[in-house]
Amino acid sequence: MVTGEPERVLDPVGRFNRRRVIDTLRIAGRMARVELTAATGLSPATVTAITAELLRAGVIEETAAEPALEGAEEVEVRRGRPRVALQLRPDAAYVAGVKISMHQIAVTVTNFTGDLLGSEIIEARASRRPAAEVADWLETALRQGVASAGVRLSDIQGVGMALPGFIDGEAGVCHWSPVFEEPLTPFAELMSVRLGRPVFIDNDANLATLAEQWFGAGKGIPNFVVVTIEHGVGMGAVIGGRLLRGARGFGAEFGHTKIQRSGALCRCGQRGCIEAYLADYAILREASTRAPVEGVSDPVLAHQAWRRLLEAAHAGDMGMREIYARAGEILGVGLANLINVFGPELVTLTGAGVAASPFFEPAMREALALNTLSASADQAPVIIRPNADSVWAHGAAALVLERLDFPLAS
Amino acid sequence: MVTGEPERVLDPVGRFNRRRVIDTLRIAGRMARVELTAATGLSPATVTAITAELLRAGVIEETAAEPALEGAEEVEVRRGRPRVALQLRPDAAYVAGVKISMHQIAVTVTNFTGDLLGSEIIEARASRRPAAEVADWLETALRQGVASAGVRLSDIQGVGMALPGFIDGEAGVCHWSPVFEEPLTPFAELMSVRLGRPVFIDNDANLATLAEQWFGAGKGIPNFVVVTIEHGVGMGAVIGGRLLRGARGFGAEFGHTKIQRSGALCRCGQRGCIEAYLADYAILREASTRAPVEGVSDPVLAHQAWRRLLEAAHAGDMGMREIYARAGEILGVGLANLINVFGPELVTLTGAGVAASPFFEPAMREALALNTLSASADQAPVIIRPNADSVWAHGAAALVLERLDFPLAS
């Protein structure tokens, strides 16, 4: 977290247990204290102290209980106490999440329980631009999004930002991103100073994964993988319930794994990367071999060109269909490799690129079947999720909710 | 765990905390109670109760303390108590670890602190043999190993077994292994009934990884990958300090990830697997294209043929050197993919195949540099570890030490 506010000194053990109570309530929805004790593994005295503190701070609230656990209810009834449950107070905090891609910026605002209060999308040509310029667009988009959610920026407890590229979220530093001109940008600090709010940044595919874990198909699944097809090809992995960050903090990198020696040339300068067959630039490159494609140097025009090619495939263009089918085959081999090394329970595919799934999915599934081990008969299902940038931005908001601590900064 | 003994009912929360105390002492060597409280995050009362219980059971012992933490020492001195530390009692338990490969069986015996008391290797042609026959060899090898360590089999608290193939360690079931004729073998139970001791089984590469984590280069490293080159190509990954097991419980599978479309035919029936270029059978296949290779249908003879080919390379055979160099290039691409997706702090290579590293290492390092992302300038070091089957067997013993509970079965 990078913020202009003075740091508050908090007991780290206390914070850890407080976090545990909040996260348990978030997943359960509502729980009686006795259930909370069982679910957190904390002592009854600790749970009583923490919940009292959180009630005082307005972070949680008491509510009429529904019986969630049979046994727990019986205990309460035997003791003759009125049955009261605890839940997070939705208005305890507001946070914002932002997704920056090369042709647009998506903003969402959520309350403390992660419910969407509003979302906005603005067009922006964020391709190798000065960080200060991207920051301008972001601030405009954010102020617009926050206003349309009926919240004041000063009420936002933190902003999460999803960026493509190599992001060290812990340090708040962008090591490289296609949206920035500068190779190294301390972007969390830059935005935090500008907005006067705490700002957290992370790789966009990681936040798409967090969105899947908090709100989507990954809910409650300890091991799953998310693959994103956009301007680049990204991934995130949840292992044992936690996002894989790796030693460098950059998370998992799938787009530049190689599945073909001396294969297609990739923007990274290497050959045979999955991205060199699958990313939007790879599709435009193949299509331009058949007929000139306009505007590939501008990210907004390139995205429009990509959409026109997809429309051509829908209209029956067999050449375009063949291009997507080949991309699908490569994707299938890549997914098979991921399934082999991670052994996930689920793989989800998302990103703007899944709009082309009617044309790549059959070849993808065939390659997947041909390249996973027969021993994995009960192989991880691969599902395609409809994409919306607001979902990624929702994941960016979840990143803030995951890191908020109490008492809140004001 | 599969055992003939009646199950003892133990408090699972108590067991978890007991485990935490034992593991903390194992890593630290020795610790005062106050340090143990800080390191485990348990309350002083819980630490006092657990250590008293473990002292009574002879699992830990008191010893003169060396000051490990400055602050801790001061606290003790201020209180005017004699400074006493706790450590695991080496003789609290004995365990055995076994590695079964297709041409030999290695057995190790260790004490409770994991010190090697003895190890034995016996030759055995364990290639698609009936499980009962493999069990005979194993029992012979185990009795020999235990006797040479000066321990009685009845004093062994558990036996860990490293098997190649798809092993569900939790269930104790081998789903497929090149050593067994049967496709599905409840091998832990079979061996446990035969030996009258608890038996745990796991994939051999997972146990080579555990050996690296407990006794080797992975000590204290939260994220690392081990790649094994043997009859097949295996891997294990430690993520956040824990062995990756995946949804199927089989762990990570590296040998059948694809790096070449329509590539070399693999024993698995698919094409372009890393194993199809790198495993011993792949080297023999390439060599046999140049000149006939004898005995490839028998695992012991095949291993001898493999060693003769390596000697030929040492003697200057340029054709063999080229074969190893190509295998090295493929390995380098595969390792680059692993580094991209896992972002580990360290990669270690081991297995019988590393004997050929003088001939594959240069090409491997070149391919590694060419195929990892430039952003990973501070990329994970790849180190080659000398191989000994006794090291894998030591990892199998560590698996038992990880699972032992107290009071011990008798």
The order of strands in the sheet holding B346-350 is: B242-243, B233-239, B224-229, B346-350, B382-384
Q: What is the CATH number of the domain that holds A137?
A: 3.30.420.40
- Say if A3 falls within a structural domain: no
Confidence of residue A82 (pLDDT cuts 50, 70, 90): low
Assess whether B168 and B276 both reside in one domain: no
Contact B380 A333 (CB under 8 A): no
Domains: count for chain A: 3
Contacts of B373 in chain A (CB under 8 A): 166, 253, 256, 268
- CB-defined contacts A:B, below 8 A: 125
Rounded mean pLDDT, A80-99: 89
pLDDT in the model for residue A208: 96
Structure tokens at A359: 């044309």
pLDDT in the model for residue A292: 87
Give the containing element (helix H, strand E) for A229. strand A224-229
Assess whether B111 and B258 both reside in one domain: no
Selection from A40-49, A247-256, B326-335 with the highest mean pLDDT: B326-335
- Output Rg (C-alpha) for chain B, integer angstroms: 23
pLDDT in the model for residue B13: 55
- Determine the residue of chain B that is closest to A261 in CA distance: B260
- Determine the residue of chain B that is closest to A222 in CA distance: B247
Largest Cα separation within chain A, whole Å, is 79
- Say if A5 falls within a structural domain: no
Rounded mean pLDDT, A64-92: 68
User: A15, A342, A372: best mutation site toward chain B, by most B Cβ within 10 Å?
Assistant: A342
Closest to B163 measured CA to CA, from B196, B206, B120, B121 = B206
Task: Give the number of other CB atoms < 10 A from CB of residue A121.
Answer: 18
Nearest to A376 among B239, B248, B345 (CB): B248
Task: Give the number of other CB atoms < 10 A from CB of residue A338.
Answer: 24
Q: Which residue numbers in chain B have pLDDT < 70? A: 1-13, 66-82, 374-378, 406-410
Domain termination site, one of B69, B88, B107: B88
Contacts of A381 in chain B (CB under 8 A): none
Angle, in degrees to the nearest 10, between helices A12-28 and A44-56: 80
Closest to A403 measured CA to CA, from A109, A30, A52, A16 = A16
In angstroms, the CA A231 to CA B188 distance is 49
For residues B109 and B95, the answer to whether their CB atoms sit within 8 Å is yes
In angstroms, the CA B187 to CA B132 distance is 9
Q: Is the pLDDT of residue A39 over 90?
A: no
Assess whether A114 and A16 both reside in one domain: no
Q: How far is B276 from chain A (nearest CA, A)?
A: 13
Paired sense of beta strands B104-111 and B60-64, if any: unpaired
Q: How many CA atoms are closer than 13 Å to the CA of A255, on its beta-carbon side?
A: 27
Q: In one letter, which amino acid is A377?
A: A
pLDDT in the model for residue A38: 86
User: B173, B243, B261, B366: best mutation site toward chain A, by most A Cβ within 10 Å?
Assistant: B261
Closest to A336 measured CA to CA, from A377, A384, A370, A375 = A370
H-only helix segments in A80-203: 131-148, 187-195
Nearest to A341 among B166, B254, B259 (CB): B254
Sole residue written with tokens 């059978």: B281
Asked if residue A407 has a cis previous peptide bond (ω within 30° of 0), the answer is yes
User: A373, A374, A376, A379: best mutation site toward chain B, by most B Cβ within 10 Å?
Assistant: A373
Domain termination site, one of A58, A88, A118: A88
Task: Give the number of other CB atoms < 10 A from CB of residue A68.
Answer: 15
For residues B391 and B346, the answer to whether their CB atoms sit within 8 Å is no
In angstroms, the CA A47 to CA B100 distance is 49
Across chain A, what does the average pLDDT equal? 88
Q: What is the DSSP letter of B152?
A: -
- Say if A1 falls within a structural domain: no
Sole residue written with tokens 């004995």: B94
Assess whether A272 and A301 both reside in one domain: yes
pLDDT in the model for residue B409: 53
pLDDT in the model for residue B407: 62
pLDDT in the model for residue B45: 83
Confidence of residue A293 (pLDDT cuts 50, 70, 90): confident
pLDDT in the model for residue A4: 39
Contact B260 A257 (CB under 8 A): no
Assess whether B338 and B353 both reside in one domain: yes
Domain termination site, one of B88, B114, B136: B88
pLDDT in the model for residue B376: 52
The order of strands in the sheet holding A156-163 is: A116-123, A104-111, A94-100, A156-163, A199-203
- Say if A346 falls within a structural domain: yes
Nearest to B239 among A244, A269, A345 (CB): A244
pLDDT in the model for residue B311: 97
Interface ipTM: 0.85
- The 10s digit of each residue's pLDDT in A222-247 is 999 999 998 889 999 999 999 998 87
Contact B343 A270 (CB under 8 A): no
- Say if A355 falls within a structural domain: yes
In angstroms, the CA B26 to CA B215 distance is 11
In angstroms, the CA B176 to CA B163 distance is 10
Contact A247 B380 (CB under 8 A): yes
Structure tokens at B182: 């049967």
Q: What is the CATH number of the domain that holds A51?
A: 1.10.10.10
- What would the 3-class secondary structure string for A270-310 be? CECECHHHHCHHHHHHHHHHHCCCCCCCCHHHHHHHHHHHH
Q: Is the pLDDT of residue A9 over 70?
A: no
Give the containing element (helix H, strand E) for B349. strand B346-350
For residues B219 and B139, the answer to whether their CB atoms sit within 8 Å is no
Contact B371 A260 (CB under 8 A): no
In angstroms, the CA B117 to CA B145 distance is 10
pTM of the model: 0.87
* Phi, psi for residue A376 in degrees, rounded to 5: -90, 55
Give the containing element (helix H, strand E) for A391. helix A389-403
- Determine the residue of chain A that is closest to B242 in CA distance: A240
Residue A378 or residue A265, greater confidence? A265
Nearest to A239 among B239, B260, B373 (CB): B239
Q: What is the DSSP letter of B213?
A: H
Nearest to A373 among B253, B341, B345 (CB): B253
Assess whether A198 and A256 both reside in one domain: no
Assess whether A366 and A328 both reside in one domain: yes
Paired sense of beta strands A116-123 and A156-163, if any: unpaired
Contacts of B242 in chain A (CB under 8 A): 240
Assess whether A47 and A185 both reside in one domain: no
Assess whether B116 and B73 both reside in one domain: no
Structure tokens at A274: 């999955």
In angstroms, the CA A168 to CA A248 distance is 7
Contacts of B371 in chain A (CB under 8 A): 258, 270
- Determine the residue of chain A that is closest to B13 in CA distance: A41
Q: How far is A339 from chain B (nearest CA, A)?
A: 9
Contact A343 B258 (CB under 8 A): no
In angstroms, the CA B76 to CA B100 distance is 49
Contact B258 A336 (CB under 8 A): yes
Which domain range does residue B281 map to? 220-384
- Determine the residue of chain A that is closest to B369 in CA distance: A270
Q: Buried (b) or exposed (e) across B21-32, using 16+ Cβ within 10 A?
A: bbebbbebebbb
For residues B88 and B58, the answer to whether their CB atoms sit within 8 Å is no
% of chain A beyond a pLDDT of 90: 66
- Determine the residue of chain B that is closest to A268 in CA distance: B373
Q: Any residues with CB less than 8 A from the CB of B56 and at least 6 apart, and which?
A: none
* Phi, psi for residue B271 in degrees, rounded to 5: -120, 150
Assess whether A121 and A251 both reside in one domain: no
In angstroms, the CA A244 to CA A250 distance is 9
Contact B247 A338 (CB under 8 A): no
Contact A240 B239 (CB under 8 A): yes
Contact A376 B251 (CB under 8 A): no
Structure tokens at B391: 């090291």
pLDDT in the model for residue B404: 87
pLDDT in the model for residue B408: 64
Nearest to B343 among A252, A257, A376 (CB): A252
For residues B47 and B31, the answer to whether their CB atoms sit within 8 Å is no
Assess whether A118 and A195 both reside in one domain: yes
Confidence of residue A124 (pLDDT cuts 50, 70, 90): confident
In angstroms, the CA B260 to CA B275 distance is 12
pLDDT in the model for residue B80: 57
In angstroms, the CA A191 to CA A107 distance is 15
Contact A239 B235 (CB under 8 A): no
Assess whether A228 and A338 both reside in one domain: yes
Contacts of A336 in chain B (CB under 8 A): 257-258
Task: Give the number of other CB atoms < 10 A from CB of residue A301.
Answer: 15
Torsion over CA: A222, A227, A228, A232 (sign): positive
**Neighbouring-strand partners of residue B258:** B273
Task: Give the number of other CB atoms < 10 A from CB of residue B368.
Answer: 22
- Say if B6 falls within a structural domain: no
For residues A398 and A215, the answer to whether their CB atoms sit within 8 Å is yes
Q: How far is A38 from chain B (nearest CA, A)?
A: 11
Tell the burial category of A174 from Cβ atoms under 10 Å away from its Cβ (0-12, 13-18, 19+): buried
Angle, in degrees to the nearest 10, between helices A318-342 and A299-314: 110
Nearest to B257 among A240, A341, A374 (CB): A341
- Determine the residue of chain B that is closest to A235 in CA distance: B341
Contact A252 B375 (CB under 8 A): no
Q: How far is A285 from chain B (nearest CA, A)?
A: 21
Structure tokens at B140: 């012979």
Q: How far is CA A63 from CA A54, A60, A70, A88, A115, in A?
A: 14, 10, 18, 10, 19
- Say if B410 falls within a structural domain: no
Q: How far is CA B239 from CA A245, A313, A345, B218, B342, in A?
A: 9, 42, 17, 11, 8
pLDDT in the model for residue B405: 77
pLDDT in the model for residue A103: 85
- Say if B7 falls within a structural domain: no
In angstroms, the CA A13 to CA A23 distance is 15
**Neighbouring-strand partners of residue A238:** A224, A243
Q: What is the DSSP letter of B345?
A: S
Sole residue written with tokens 């035919």: B265
